Amino acid sequence: MYIVHPFEPVWTPRSKVLILGTFPSVTSRENKFYYGHPRNRFWQVLAELCSEPIPRTVDEKKLLLIRYDIAVWDVLSACEIIGSDDASIRNPIVNDINGLVSKCAIKKILLNGKKAYNLYIKYCSQDSEIPAIYLPSTSPANASWGMPQLLAAWGQEIFDC
């Protein structure tokens, strides 16, 4: 099924880090915001690294991102996808990542998972001089990475700019 990304990126001109996922999951599309699956550890990891309570509402999540100069978006603006399965993605159309970056103070781009990283490298990185860094996915599908490992990997990169 061909789906168009249903919501806008979160960013401000002060954003220093851009975190890119692949494409919103079914639950995220239903909730109209990033990392909406209750078992996705993205908000838990971010809250822990920021020494903040885990945000629950969309407004709380946006405020956390803005407070720490973090931008969030996805590599793809549209694609054919079965459910939430990144491996099923066909006919991808990429977002204008460089257009967003040109409006911000982005110093590095963090890719949440292998599929996001591979798509970014294939379609977007050739026009950018900003470092793109692969990070292990916070998705529940990445069960081999526990919270301690995710916090260590993400913690090394998220505020180092």
pLDDT of 71 reads 98
Task: Provide the residue ranges of all domains of the chain, joining segments of one domain with +.
Answer: 2-158
pLDDT of 119 reads 97
- pLDDT tens by residue, 128-139: 889 999 999 999
pLDDT of 59 reads 98
- pLDDT tens by residue, 92-126: 999 999 999 999 999 999 999 999 999 999 999 88
Average pLDDT value for residue range 57-82: 98
Spatial separation of the C-alpha atoms in residues 10 and 33, rounded to whole Å:
10
Which one has a higher pLDDT value, 22 or 156? Answer: 22
Fold of 2-158: Uracil-DNA Glycosylase, subunit E (3.40.470)
- Beta strand spans in the chain (E): 2-4, 17-21, 70-74, 76-80, 90-94, 108-112, 132-135
pLDDT greater than 80 at residue 161:
no
What is the pTM for the complete model shown? 0.96
The DSSP output letter for 142 is -
